[in-house]
A and B are shown apart, each in its own frame.
Chain A
Protein backbone atom coordinates (compact mmCIF):
# COMPACT_ATOMS: atom_id res chain seq x y z
CA UNK A 1 0.00 0.00 0.00
CA UNK A 2 1.50 3.32 -0.87
CA UNK A 3 1.83 6.01 1.79
CA UNK A 4 -1.00 8.20 0.67
CA UNK A 5 -3.44 5.33 0.46
CA UNK A 6 -2.39 4.08 3.87
CA UNK A 7 -2.80 7.51 5.42
CA UNK A 8 -6.18 8.03 3.81
CA UNK A 9 -7.69 4.66 4.55
CA UNK A 10 -6.17 3.69 7.87
CA UNK A 11 -4.41 6.54 9.55
CA UNK A 12 -6.79 9.45 9.01
CA UNK A 13 -9.92 7.84 10.45
CA UNK A 14 -8.03 6.82 13.58
CA UNK A 15 -6.30 10.16 13.87
CA UNK A 16 -9.56 12.01 13.40
CA UNK A 17 -11.02 9.96 16.22
CA UNK A 18 -8.03 10.84 18.38
CA UNK A 19 -8.20 14.47 17.37
CA UNK A 20 -11.81 14.67 18.53
CA UNK A 21 -10.90 13.06 21.85
CA UNK A 22 -8.10 15.61 22.25
CA UNK A 23 -10.54 18.46 21.66
CA UNK A 24 -12.90 16.95 24.21
CA UNK A 25 -10.05 16.84 26.70
CA UNK A 26 -8.72 20.30 26.00
CA UNK A 27 -11.84 22.46 25.93
CA UNK A 28 -13.28 21.53 29.35
CA UNK A 29 -9.80 21.45 30.90
CA UNK A 30 -9.05 24.93 29.57
CA UNK A 31 -12.33 26.35 30.84
CA UNK A 32 -12.24 24.75 34.27
CA UNK A 33 -8.52 25.43 34.60
CA UNK A 34 -9.16 29.09 34.00
CA UNK A 35 -12.04 29.17 36.47
CA UNK A 36 -9.91 27.45 39.11
CA UNK A 37 -7.04 29.80 38.34
CA UNK A 38 -9.17 32.90 38.82
CA UNK A 39 -10.65 31.59 42.05
CA UNK A 40 -7.34 30.48 43.50
CA UNK A 41 -5.61 33.66 42.33
CA UNK A 42 -8.21 35.78 44.12
CA UNK A 43 -7.92 33.70 47.28
CA UNK A 44 -4.15 33.98 47.22
CA UNK A 45 -4.35 37.76 47.11
CA UNK A 46 -7.50 38.54 49.09
CA UNK A 47 -8.00 35.40 51.19
CA UNK A 48 -7.62 35.38 54.94
CA UNK A 49 -4.59 33.59 56.37
CA UNK A 50 -5.77 29.96 56.41
CA UNK A 51 -7.50 30.10 53.05
CA UNK A 52 -4.57 31.92 51.54
CA UNK A 53 -2.18 29.27 52.88
CA UNK A 54 -4.35 26.50 51.44
CA UNK A 55 -4.45 28.19 48.05
CA UNK A 56 -0.70 28.72 48.14
CA UNK A 57 -0.05 25.07 48.96
CA UNK A 58 -2.32 23.96 46.14
CA UNK A 59 -0.12 25.88 43.74
CA UNK A 60 3.10 24.55 45.25
CA UNK A 61 1.83 20.98 44.89
CA UNK A 62 0.35 21.16 41.43
CA UNK A 63 3.11 23.20 39.91
CA UNK A 64 5.80 21.20 41.62
CA UNK A 65 4.83 17.64 40.76
CA UNK A 66 5.27 16.46 37.16
CA UNK A 67 1.95 16.25 35.38
CA UNK A 68 2.43 12.60 34.42
CA UNK A 69 2.79 11.72 38.09
CA UNK A 70 -0.36 13.69 38.90
CA UNK A 71 -2.24 11.77 36.20
CA UNK A 72 -0.94 8.47 37.58
CA UNK A 73 -2.13 9.45 41.02
CA UNK A 74 -5.64 10.32 39.79
CA UNK A 75 -5.94 7.21 37.67
CA UNK A 76 -3.94 4.52 39.47
CA UNK A 77 -3.81 6.01 42.95
CA UNK A 78 -7.42 6.91 43.66
CA UNK A 79 -8.74 3.37 43.25
CA UNK A 80 -6.75 2.65 46.39
CA UNK A 81 -9.34 4.85 48.13
CA UNK A 82 -12.15 3.13 46.25
CA UNK A 83 -12.53 6.06 43.88
CA UNK A 84 -12.55 4.96 40.26
CA UNK A 85 -12.20 7.53 37.54
CA UNK A 86 -12.40 6.82 33.84
CA UNK A 87 -9.21 7.62 31.92
CA UNK A 88 -11.00 10.57 30.37
CA UNK A 89 -12.24 11.98 33.68
CA UNK A 90 -8.88 11.46 35.34
CA UNK A 91 -7.20 13.30 32.47
CA UNK A 92 -9.57 16.29 32.55
CA UNK A 93 -9.23 16.46 36.33
CA UNK A 94 -5.45 16.32 36.14
CA UNK A 95 -5.22 18.91 33.38
CA UNK A 96 -7.67 21.30 35.05
CA UNK A 97 -5.93 21.23 38.41
CA UNK A 98 -2.47 21.60 36.95
CA UNK A 99 -3.56 24.32 34.55
CA UNK A 100 -5.43 26.12 37.34
CA UNK A 101 -2.25 26.33 39.40
CA UNK A 102 -0.43 28.06 36.56
CA UNK A 103 -3.35 30.34 35.71
CA UNK A 104 -3.58 31.41 39.34
CA UNK A 105 -0.03 32.69 39.15
CA UNK A 106 -0.84 34.92 36.18
CA UNK A 107 -4.04 36.11 37.83
CA UNK A 108 -2.25 36.81 41.09
CA UNK A 109 0.37 38.91 39.34
CA UNK A 110 -2.34 40.83 37.51
CA UNK A 111 -4.34 41.41 40.70
CA UNK A 112 -1.27 42.80 42.43
CA UNK A 113 -0.66 45.15 39.52
CA UNK A 114 -4.00 46.94 39.95
CA UNK A 115 -3.34 50.35 41.46
CA UNK A 116 -4.37 51.00 45.05
CA UNK A 117 -6.40 53.99 43.84
CA UNK A 118 -8.88 51.68 42.12
CA UNK A 119 -9.72 49.93 45.37
CA UNK A 120 -9.79 53.20 47.32
CA UNK A 121 -12.30 54.59 44.84
CA UNK A 122 -14.48 51.49 45.03
CA UNK A 123 -14.38 51.46 48.83
CA UNK A 124 -15.20 55.15 48.99
CA UNK A 125 -18.36 54.47 46.99
CA UNK A 126 -19.46 51.86 49.52
CA UNK A 127 -18.51 48.69 47.64
CA UNK A 128 -18.07 45.62 49.80
CA UNK A 129 -15.05 43.44 49.18
CA UNK A 130 -16.78 40.93 46.92
CA UNK A 131 -18.40 43.65 44.81
CA UNK A 132 -15.07 45.40 44.54
CA UNK A 133 -13.24 42.28 43.42
CA UNK A 134 -15.86 41.14 40.93
CA UNK A 135 -16.74 44.44 39.31
CA UNK A 136 -13.60 46.55 39.60
CA UNK A 137 -10.51 44.46 40.21
CA UNK A 138 -11.10 41.25 38.25
CA UNK A 139 -12.31 42.87 35.02
CA UNK A 140 -9.04 44.77 34.93
CA UNK A 141 -6.84 41.95 36.19
CA UNK A 142 -8.20 39.39 33.74
CA UNK A 143 -7.38 41.71 30.87
CA UNK A 144 -3.85 42.04 32.16
CA UNK A 145 -3.52 38.28 32.75
CA UNK A 146 -4.88 37.27 29.37
CA UNK A 147 -1.56 36.97 27.51
CA UNK A 148 -0.13 34.74 30.25
CA UNK A 149 -3.28 32.66 30.55
CA UNK A 150 -3.35 32.29 26.78
CA UNK A 151 0.16 30.95 26.95
CA UNK A 152 -0.93 28.40 29.53
CA UNK A 153 -3.78 27.26 27.29
CA UNK A 154 -1.34 26.71 24.44
CA UNK A 155 0.76 24.59 26.79
CA UNK A 156 -2.34 22.66 27.81
CA UNK A 157 -3.04 21.78 24.20
CA UNK A 158 0.39 20.24 23.99
CA UNK A 159 0.50 18.49 27.33
CA UNK A 160 -2.96 17.03 26.71
CA UNK A 161 -0.96 14.39 24.80
CA UNK A 162 -0.01 12.92 28.17
CA UNK A 163 -3.53 11.51 28.53
CA UNK A 164 -2.53 8.45 26.57
CA UNK A 165 -0.21 7.52 29.45
CA UNK A 166 -3.30 6.66 31.47
CA UNK A 167 -4.97 4.94 28.54
CA UNK A 168 -7.13 7.81 27.40
CA UNK A 169 -6.45 7.37 23.73
CA UNK A 170 -6.39 10.77 22.14
CA UNK A 171 -4.46 12.05 19.15
CA UNK A 172 -0.99 11.06 20.31
CA UNK A 173 -2.26 7.73 21.62
CA UNK A 174 -3.87 6.81 18.31
CA UNK A 175 -0.65 7.84 16.61
CA UNK A 176 1.44 5.58 18.81
CA UNK A 177 -0.82 2.63 18.06
CA UNK A 178 -0.83 3.28 14.33
CA UNK A 179 2.90 3.75 14.20
CA UNK A 180 3.70 0.62 16.13
CA UNK A 181 1.48 -1.42 13.80
CA UNK A 182 2.65 0.08 10.53
CA UNK A 183 6.15 1.32 11.40
CA UNK A 184 5.35 4.49 9.47
CA UNK A 185 6.58 6.70 12.28
CA UNK A 186 7.63 9.65 10.15
CA UNK A 187 4.40 10.09 8.24
CA UNK A 188 2.15 9.58 11.21
CA UNK A 189 3.96 11.83 13.62
CA UNK A 190 4.29 14.49 10.93
CA UNK A 191 0.53 14.45 10.54
CA UNK A 192 0.07 14.57 14.31
CA UNK A 193 2.50 17.46 14.57
CA UNK A 194 0.47 19.34 12.01
CA UNK A 195 -2.71 18.60 13.96
CA UNK A 196 -1.25 20.12 17.13
CA UNK A 197 0.02 23.06 15.16
CA UNK A 198 -3.48 23.62 13.80
CA UNK A 199 -4.95 23.47 17.32
CA UNK A 200 -2.41 25.84 18.83
CA UNK A 201 -2.72 28.26 15.92
CA UNK A 202 -6.46 28.22 16.20
CA UNK A 203 -6.21 28.85 19.94
CA UNK A 204 -3.76 31.70 19.40
CA UNK A 205 -6.10 33.23 16.87
CA UNK A 206 -9.10 32.99 19.19
CA UNK A 207 -7.09 34.40 22.10
CA UNK A 208 -5.85 37.29 20.01
CA UNK A 209 -9.40 38.06 18.92
CA UNK A 210 -10.55 37.89 22.53
CA UNK A 211 -7.77 40.22 23.62
CA UNK A 212 -8.76 42.65 20.90
CA UNK A 213 -12.41 42.39 21.84
CA UNK A 214 -11.65 43.08 25.50
CA UNK A 215 -9.10 45.80 24.89
CA UNK A 216 -9.80 49.23 26.27
CA UNK A 217 -8.31 52.46 24.98
CA UNK A 218 -5.24 53.35 26.97
CA UNK A 219 -5.71 50.53 29.43
CA UNK A 220 -3.06 48.32 27.96
CA UNK A 221 -0.74 48.54 25.04
CA UNK A 222 -2.72 48.93 21.85
CA UNK A 223 -2.32 46.36 19.11
CA UNK A 224 -1.08 47.99 15.98
Chain B
Protein backbone atom coordinates (compact mmCIF):
# COMPACT_ATOMS: atom_id res chain seq x y z
CA UNK B 1 0.00 0.00 0.00
CA UNK B 2 1.24 3.49 -0.84
CA UNK B 3 1.81 6.13 1.79
CA UNK B 4 -1.06 8.53 2.52
CA UNK B 5 -1.06 11.76 0.53
CA UNK B 6 -2.16 13.67 3.61
CA UNK B 7 -1.52 12.74 7.21
CA UNK B 8 -3.10 14.73 9.96
CA UNK B 9 -2.06 13.94 13.48
CA UNK B 10 -3.55 14.96 16.77
CA UNK B 11 -4.89 18.40 15.95
CA UNK B 12 -6.15 20.37 18.92
CA UNK B 13 -7.72 23.79 18.94
CA UNK B 14 -9.31 25.82 21.70
CA UNK B 15 -11.14 29.11 21.61
CA UNK B 16 -10.63 30.54 25.07
CA UNK B 17 -11.62 27.81 27.48
CA UNK B 18 -13.64 25.93 24.90
CA UNK B 19 -11.85 22.96 23.40
CA UNK B 20 -13.19 22.75 19.88
CA UNK B 21 -10.84 20.04 18.59
CA UNK B 22 -9.58 17.48 21.07
CA UNK B 23 -6.93 15.67 19.11
CA UNK B 24 -8.18 14.79 15.66
CA UNK B 25 -6.13 12.53 13.38
CA UNK B 26 -6.86 11.42 9.86
CA UNK B 27 -4.93 9.68 7.10
CA UNK B 28 -6.04 10.35 3.58
CA UNK B 29 -4.94 8.24 0.64
CA UNK B 30 -4.69 9.48 -2.91
CA UNK B 31 -8.11 9.40 -4.54
CA UNK B 32 -10.00 9.08 -1.27
CA UNK B 33 -13.27 10.85 -0.69
CA UNK B 34 -13.57 11.18 3.06
CA UNK B 35 -16.93 12.43 4.24
CA UNK B 36 -17.13 14.23 7.57
CA UNK B 37 -20.47 14.01 9.26
CA UNK B 38 -21.56 15.10 12.68
CA UNK B 39 -23.88 17.48 14.48
CA UNK B 40 -23.54 21.22 14.15
CA UNK B 41 -20.79 22.48 16.42
CA UNK B 42 -18.91 19.18 16.28
CA UNK B 43 -15.86 20.99 14.91
CA UNK B 44 -16.01 19.92 11.26
CA UNK B 45 -15.43 23.39 9.85
CA UNK B 46 -12.69 24.13 12.35
CA UNK B 47 -11.00 20.85 11.49
CA UNK B 48 -11.13 21.53 7.75
CA UNK B 49 -9.79 25.05 8.27
CA UNK B 50 -6.98 23.69 10.45
CA UNK B 51 -5.91 21.44 7.61
CA UNK B 52 -4.84 24.41 5.49
CA UNK B 53 -4.05 26.61 8.49
CA UNK B 54 -6.82 29.13 7.90
CA UNK B 55 -7.22 28.38 11.59
CA UNK B 56 -3.95 27.82 13.41
CA UNK B 57 -4.12 24.57 15.37
CA UNK B 58 -2.79 24.78 18.93
CA UNK B 59 -1.07 21.45 18.50
CA UNK B 60 -0.74 18.77 15.89
CA UNK B 61 1.17 17.92 12.76
CA UNK B 62 0.35 17.59 9.10
CA UNK B 63 2.29 15.83 6.37
CA UNK B 64 1.66 16.26 2.67
CA UNK B 65 3.25 13.51 0.56
CA UNK B 66 5.33 12.49 3.54
CA UNK B 67 6.75 15.97 4.12
CA UNK B 68 5.79 17.78 7.25
CA UNK B 69 4.15 21.15 6.67
CA UNK B 70 6.06 23.88 8.50
CA UNK B 71 3.42 26.55 8.61
CA UNK B 72 5.53 28.96 10.65
CA UNK B 73 7.51 29.69 7.47
CA UNK B 74 5.23 31.87 5.44
CA UNK B 75 6.59 30.79 2.09
CA UNK B 76 5.98 27.14 2.91
CA UNK B 77 2.53 27.95 4.10
CA UNK B 78 1.58 29.81 0.93
CA UNK B 79 3.02 27.05 -1.24
CA UNK B 80 1.20 24.38 0.77
CA UNK B 81 -2.12 26.19 0.56
CA UNK B 82 -1.88 26.22 -3.23
CA UNK B 83 -1.92 22.45 -3.11
CA UNK B 84 -4.96 22.32 -0.88
CA UNK B 85 -8.13 23.60 -2.55
CA UNK B 86 -10.88 24.85 -0.30
CA UNK B 87 -14.60 25.12 -0.98
CA UNK B 88 -16.73 27.08 1.45
CA UNK B 89 -20.35 26.75 2.43
CA UNK B 90 -21.11 30.29 1.33
CA UNK B 91 -18.88 30.23 -1.78
CA UNK B 92 -16.75 33.26 -0.92
CA UNK B 93 -16.29 34.29 -4.52
CA UNK B 94 -14.50 37.61 -4.88
CA UNK B 95 -17.43 39.96 -5.26
CA UNK B 96 -15.64 42.51 -7.41
CA UNK B 97 -14.52 40.05 -10.06
CA UNK B 98 -16.34 38.20 -12.83
CA UNK B 99 -16.47 34.41 -12.82
CA UNK B 100 -13.52 34.31 -15.21
CA UNK B 101 -11.48 36.77 -13.15
CA UNK B 102 -12.28 34.84 -9.98
CA UNK B 103 -10.79 31.71 -11.49
CA UNK B 104 -7.86 33.55 -13.05
CA UNK B 105 -6.70 35.73 -10.17
CA UNK B 106 -5.03 33.00 -8.13
CA UNK B 107 -3.05 31.77 -11.12
CA UNK B 108 -1.92 35.30 -12.00
CA UNK B 109 -1.17 36.66 -8.53
CA UNK B 110 0.02 33.60 -6.69
CA UNK B 111 1.52 31.42 -9.41
CA UNK B 112 2.68 34.28 -11.61
CA UNK B 113 1.18 32.77 -14.75
CA UNK B 114 0.80 35.36 -17.54
CA UNK B 115 -2.71 36.78 -17.69
CA UNK B 116 -3.56 35.44 -21.11
CA UNK B 117 -2.44 31.91 -20.41
CA UNK B 118 -4.23 31.98 -17.07
CA UNK B 119 -7.34 33.27 -18.82
CA UNK B 120 -7.34 30.32 -21.20
CA UNK B 121 -6.94 27.90 -18.33
CA UNK B 122 -9.73 29.68 -16.43
CA UNK B 123 -12.05 29.30 -19.41
CA UNK B 124 -11.22 25.63 -19.54
CA UNK B 125 -11.96 25.16 -15.86
CA UNK B 126 -15.24 27.03 -16.18
CA UNK B 127 -16.17 24.90 -19.17
CA UNK B 128 -15.45 21.83 -17.10
CA UNK B 129 -18.03 22.91 -14.51
CA UNK B 130 -20.47 23.90 -17.23
CA UNK B 131 -20.24 27.67 -16.89
CA UNK B 132 -18.48 28.84 -20.02
CA UNK B 133 -21.54 30.84 -21.03
CA UNK B 134 -21.56 32.68 -17.72
CA UNK B 135 -17.89 33.50 -17.42
CA UNK B 136 -18.31 37.25 -17.74
CA UNK B 137 -20.96 37.50 -15.04
CA UNK B 138 -20.33 38.84 -11.57
CA UNK B 139 -21.10 36.69 -8.51
CA UNK B 140 -24.25 38.68 -7.79
CA UNK B 141 -25.58 37.68 -11.22
CA UNK B 142 -25.13 33.96 -10.64
CA UNK B 143 -27.32 31.46 -8.81
CA UNK B 144 -26.01 29.74 -5.71
CA UNK B 145 -25.26 26.55 -7.57
CA UNK B 146 -23.40 28.46 -10.26
CA UNK B 147 -21.41 30.37 -7.66
CA UNK B 148 -20.35 27.16 -5.98
CA UNK B 149 -19.28 25.70 -9.33
CA UNK B 150 -17.21 28.83 -10.03
CA UNK B 151 -15.56 28.43 -6.65
CA UNK B 152 -14.73 24.82 -7.51
CA UNK B 153 -13.26 25.94 -10.83
CA UNK B 154 -11.25 28.57 -8.97
CA UNK B 155 -9.80 25.97 -6.64
CA UNK B 156 -9.09 23.52 -9.46
CA UNK B 157 -7.21 26.13 -11.47
CA UNK B 158 -4.50 26.05 -8.80
CA UNK B 159 -3.92 22.35 -9.50
CA UNK B 160 -4.58 21.22 -5.94
CA UNK B 161 -3.64 17.76 -4.74
CA UNK B 162 -6.35 17.67 -2.12
CA UNK B 163 -9.68 19.45 -1.93
CA UNK B 164 -11.44 20.40 1.28
CA UNK B 165 -15.17 20.97 0.95
CA UNK B 166 -17.07 22.46 3.87
CA UNK B 167 -20.76 21.75 3.38
CA UNK B 168 -20.62 22.85 -0.26
CA UNK B 169 -24.35 22.44 -0.78
CA UNK B 170 -25.75 23.57 2.56
CA UNK B 171 -26.47 27.11 1.39
CA UNK B 172 -28.21 25.94 -1.77
CA UNK B 173 -31.85 25.50 -2.66
CA UNK B 174 -32.62 21.78 -3.02
CA UNK B 175 -33.00 21.94 -6.79
CA UNK B 176 -29.49 23.37 -7.15
CA UNK B 177 -27.72 20.74 -5.07
CA UNK B 178 -27.62 18.23 -7.90
CA UNK B 179 -25.52 20.37 -10.24
CA UNK B 180 -22.86 20.85 -7.58
CA UNK B 181 -22.89 17.19 -6.62
CA UNK B 182 -22.43 16.28 -10.26
CA UNK B 183 -19.27 18.37 -10.41
CA UNK B 184 -17.92 16.83 -7.21
CA UNK B 185 -18.72 13.35 -8.50
CA UNK B 186 -16.77 14.10 -11.67
CA UNK B 187 -13.84 15.27 -9.60
CA UNK B 188 -13.91 12.05 -7.63
CA UNK B 189 -14.01 9.87 -10.71
CA UNK B 190 -11.00 11.78 -12.06
CA UNK B 191 -9.11 10.74 -8.96
CA UNK B 192 -9.19 13.93 -6.89
CA UNK B 193 -8.52 13.43 -3.21
CA UNK B 194 -11.22 15.11 -1.15
CA UNK B 195 -12.34 15.67 2.41
CA UNK B 196 -15.89 16.89 2.54
CA UNK B 197 -18.20 17.86 5.36
CA UNK B 198 -21.82 17.35 4.40
CA UNK B 199 -25.25 16.37 5.62
CA UNK B 200 -26.16 14.85 2.24
CA UNK B 201 -26.37 11.23 3.32
CA UNK B 202 -27.48 9.89 -0.04
CA UNK B 203 -24.54 11.46 -1.82
CA UNK B 204 -22.17 10.38 0.92
CA UNK B 205 -23.21 6.76 1.00
CA UNK B 206 -22.93 6.52 -2.77
CA UNK B 207 -19.48 8.00 -3.20
CA UNK B 208 -17.58 8.10 0.07
CA UNK B 209 -14.55 5.90 0.45
CA UNK B 210 -14.91 6.43 4.16
CA UNK B 211 -17.33 8.17 6.49
CA UNK B 212 -15.87 9.97 9.48
CA UNK B 213 -18.32 10.71 12.29
CA UNK B 214 -17.26 13.64 14.46
CA UNK B 215 -18.84 14.84 17.63
CA UNK B 216 -17.74 17.25 20.30
CA UNK B 217 -14.29 17.84 18.83
CA UNK B 218 -13.40 14.18 18.41
CA UNK B 219 -13.68 11.51 15.76
CA UNK B 220 -16.11 9.00 17.23
CA UNK B 221 -16.09 6.41 14.51
CA UNK B 222 -14.92 5.87 10.96
CA UNK B 223 -15.92 3.24 8.45
CA UNK B 224 -17.40 2.47 5.08
CA UNK B 225 -20.75 4.10 4.34
CA UNK B 226 -22.42 0.73 4.73
CA UNK B 227 -20.95 0.19 8.16
CA UNK B 228 -21.62 3.68 9.49
CA UNK B 229 -25.13 3.99 8.17
CA UNK B 230 -26.34 0.44 8.78
CA UNK B 231 -24.15 -1.13 11.39
CA UNK B 232 -22.42 1.53 13.47
CA UNK B 233 -20.62 0.47 16.62
CA UNK B 234 -21.37 3.54 18.70
CA UNK B 235 -24.85 4.44 19.77
CA UNK B 236 -24.15 8.14 19.14
CA UNK B 237 -23.31 7.38 15.53
CA UNK B 238 -26.52 5.37 15.10
CA UNK B 239 -28.61 8.13 16.69
CA UNK B 240 -27.08 10.81 14.51
CA UNK B 241 -27.48 8.77 11.34
CA UNK B 242 -31.10 8.01 11.97
CA UNK B 243 -31.81 11.65 12.73
CA UNK B 244 -30.06 12.88 9.64
CA UNK B 245 -31.74 10.29 7.45
CA UNK B 246 -35.08 11.59 8.64
CA UNK B 247 -34.04 15.17 7.93
CA UNK B 248 -32.39 14.76 4.58
CA UNK B 249 -34.65 12.08 3.14
CA UNK B 250 -34.25 8.47 2.26
CA UNK B 251 -30.94 7.51 0.86
Contact = CB atoms under 8 A, between A and B. Distances in A.
B194 to A, nearest CB: 15
A117 B90 contact: yes
Contacts of B93: 121
Nearest to A214: B96
Nearest to A127: B110
Interface stretch (A17-25, A128-136, A164-172): A128-136
Interface in A117-149: 117-118, 120-128, 131, 135-136, 139-140, 143
Contacts of B155: 124-125
Contact of B92 (A117, A127, A139, A218): A117
Contacts of B54: 120, 123-124
B18 to A, nearest CB: 19
A139 B110 contact: no
Contacts, number: 79
B106 interface: yes
A121 B110 contact: no
B50 interface: no
Interface in B63-101: 74, 78-82, 84-86, 88, 90-96
B135 interface: no
Contacts of B80: 126
Interface stretch (B9-17, B137-145, B195-203): B137-145
Nearest to B79: A126
A115 B96 CA distance: 12
A124 B52 contact: yes
B84 A143 contact: no
Contacts of A140: 94-96
Q: How extensive is the interface on chain A, given as a class? A: 20 to 34
A135 B138 contact: no
B105 interface: yes
B109 interface: yes
Given A117-B92, A118-B94, A126-B110, A218 B78 contact: no
Contact of B140 (A117, A122, A218): A218
Interface string B15-47: 000000000000000000000000000000000
A123 B55 CA distance: 11
Nearest to A219: B95
B149 interface: no
Contacts of B86: 120-121, 124
A127 B141 contact: no
Q: Shortest 3 CB-CB distances between A and B: which pairs?
A: A218-B140, A124-B86, A117-B92
27 contacts: A115-B92, A117-B88, A117-B90, A118-B94, A120-B49, A120-B54, A121-B86, A124-B81, A125-B82, A125-B154, A125-B155, A125-B158, A126-B81, A126-B110, A131-B110, A135-B109, A136-B94, A139-B96, A140-B95, A140-B96, A216-B138, A217-B138, A217-B140, A218-B95, A218-B141, A219-B95, A219-B140
Given A124-B86, A126-B81, A135-B105, 17 more contacts: A117-B88, A121-B88, A121-B94, A121-B151, A123-B54, A123-B81, A125-B81, A125-B155, A126-B106, A126-B110, A127-B109, A128-B74, A131-B109, A139-B96, A218-B138, A219-B96, A219-B138
